[in-house]
Amino acid sequence: MAVPLAGQHGPPVRIMRGELIRWEVRGFTGDLSIRDAMHRVHRCSVTPDTYLTRQTLRVTPVGVKPGDFLEVVADLRDGPESCRALTIYVRASDPALVAARGPLTIPPQRIIMDNLWPRGALTFAGVVQRLEPDRMIVQTRKDGSQTFHLRADTVYTAEGRLVEAARLSVHTRVFVRAGRGFEGEMEAYQVVWGGIVTPKQTTTH
């Protein structure tokens, strides 16, 4: 799935999720292609500045292979046809699924969770008003003050790089990929901020 981090006129940043079907990276540069849950193929370039991580640990391009499930934070500032990977989160595919259904498939737990409980289908932009150990309050233009539950697996990205939660501070302009939990509470799955989300380019909720 490809998820914009803002509205139609928002910053040129997008999150793409899917299974890696092509990985042509030599050294630290090259191209990748992923296939999302709707069987659409997305192509993106990899540069020496692309940050690759698996289970919170940084990896090299050698540690990535077709069949892995990727979540890509991509920069589209040079146009809709130009995609540059800022951060790539690598999650290995399920061996049992590959054996049963063949290669190049999305792990079943992801499909089930996305169908029954859309994870990260909502995006918000605004300024952090308040931070608590498990809560973040963001002031948006369209929806006013929004409260997000910060999960143990919430991902924090600054300038396209994976960072610790402690790096986030009050008064920071952020973009939040969120969804509602089983009890209806808004949960943050990814919080993004930094130079790639300049106010000049933003349209907030």
Confidence check: pLDDT of 101 > 70: no
Burial 47-84 (b: 16+ CB within 10 A, else e): eeebbbeeeeeeeebeebeebbbbbbbbbbeeeeeebb
> Are 83 and 62 in a shared domain?
yes
Counting Cα atoms < 13 Å in the Cβ hemisphere of 151 gives 18
Whole-angstrom distance, CA of residue 14 vs CA of residue 71: 10
Most confident of 45-49, 55-59, 95-99, 170-174: 170-174
Q: Across the chain, which distance is largest between two alpha carbons, in Å?
A: 49
Q: State whether 44 and 126 are in the same domain.
A: no
Domain total for the chain? 2
**Alpha-carbon span 75 to 87, nearest angstrom:** 10
- Across residues 43-49, what is the average pLDDT? 90
Mean pLDDT to the nearest integer, 130-158: 90
Judgement on whether residues 36 and 111 belong to the same structural domain of the protein: yes
Q: What is the pLDDT of residues 181-195, one digit of tens each?
A: 766 788 898 898 986
**Alpha carbon separation from 43 to 103, 153, 156 (Å, rounded):** 19, 27, 24
End residue of a domain, out of 68, 100, 116: 116
pLDDT at 196 over 60: no
- Determine the structural domain holding residue 110 and report its residue range: 2-116
Domain match, 104 and 149 both: no
Which residue, of 116, 134, 150, is where some domain finishes? 116
* Distant-in-sequence, close-in-space partners of 64: CB < 8 Å, separation ≥ 6: 20, 23, 25, 52, 70, 88, 90
- How many residues appear in the chain? 205
* Most confident region among 2-6, 13-17, 112-116, 138-142 by mean pLDDT: 138-142
**Is the confidence at residue 109, as pLDDT, over 50?**
no
Distance in angstroms (rounded) separating the CA atoms of residues 8 and 100:
40
What CATH code is carried by the domain that includes residue 182? 2.40.50.140
β-pairing, 41-46 vs 29-35, is antiparallel
The string of DSSP letters for 6-30 reads S-TTS-SEEEEEEEEEEEEEETTEE
Q: What angle do CA 134, 138, 140 make, to 5 degrees?
A: 155
Q: What is the mean pLDDT of residues 20-39?
A: 90
Structural domain ending residue among the three candidates 61, 92, 116: 116
Is 14 in the same domain as 49? yes
Are 131 and 92 contained in the same domain? no
Rounded to an integer, what is the distance from CA 131 to the centroid of its chain? Answer: 21
Instruction: Please say if the pLDDT value at position 160 is more than 80.
Output: no
Residues 110 and 126 in one domain: no
Q: Are residues 92 and 136 in the same domain?
A: no
136 and 100 part of one domain: no
Spatial CA neighbour of 5 closest among 128, 160, 163, 181: 160
